[in-house]
Chains A and B, each alone.
Chain A
Amino acid sequence: MKTNDVIFQTVAKVVFFMIIFFAVRIFFAGHYYPGGGFVGGLLTSGAIVLLLLAFDLKTVKKILPVDYKWLISLGLLFATGTAAGSVLFNVPFFTHAYDYFQLPLFGKTSLHTAMLFDLGVYLVVIGVTMTIIQTIGESE
């Protein structure tokens, strides 16, 4: 039987972007406010789960043609790469660096290499969560 959930699908299309923007905000605010890579990644995968609920696995695979297992390895590469990069400058493993930059549109901003490590955490969390959910959802 074909069901018609036009209300849910329309709401999901709007709410998806709200959750994604909130996740990005929480990810970037993590240095000064509560939040960070873990919560941001979980929220992003929550948004993708909303799409999975409103549509189906095949459609979402067409919308986001991402192999989430690659996201895990990419995130681990970011995390270990940030840690190993400090060795090149003759400082201990995992030493982070930061400086203030004059960015257009943002003004004086402090850019920190801990954010790259956080990006690794973000990608790993999305990858692991979506791999688990897709694997469970696919099996009959």
Chain B
Amino acid sequence: MIDLVLKLTLVLLAIAMLGLVYRLVKGPTTPDRVVALDAMGVNLVSIAAVLSMILKTSNFLDIILLIGIMAFLGTVAFAKFLEKGEIIEYDRDQ
């Protein structure tokens, strides 16, 4: 029973991922694509969690935190690039 539910969850997450891929390809503006990428990171976290339940292993739990951190860093870098046109400044007070 639980196995069936987990596999159904995986399919639904894959469908959600497809919707995000659509927004990533179609998205008229760049911020649309950035938000789609961020949501894809969150979706990837849930897929890793469900997969670790299906495979009955706890070794993926580090990966979940890792994907979360990396998605945050990437989104922040993209947002700063869109806002200022420069990701790493030398002196921000100038």
Using a CB–CB distance below 8 Å, which chain A residues touch chain B?
Answer: 2-3, 8, 15, 19, 22, 26, 33-35, 39, 43, 46, 49-50, 52-53, 55-59, 133, 136-138
Contacts and interface: CB of A to CB of B under 8 A. Distances in A.
B56 interface: no
A50 B76 contact: yes
B59 A57 contact: no
B22 interface: no
- Interface of B, secondary structure class, is helix
Interface footprint category on B: 20 to 34
B88 A15 contact: no
Interface string B56-73: 000100110110011011
B88 A52 contact: yes
- Interface of A, secondary structure class, is helix
A70 B24 CA distance: 41
Contact of B83 (A3, A43, A46, A133): A3
B80 interface: yes
A138 B73 contact: no
Contacts of A26: 62
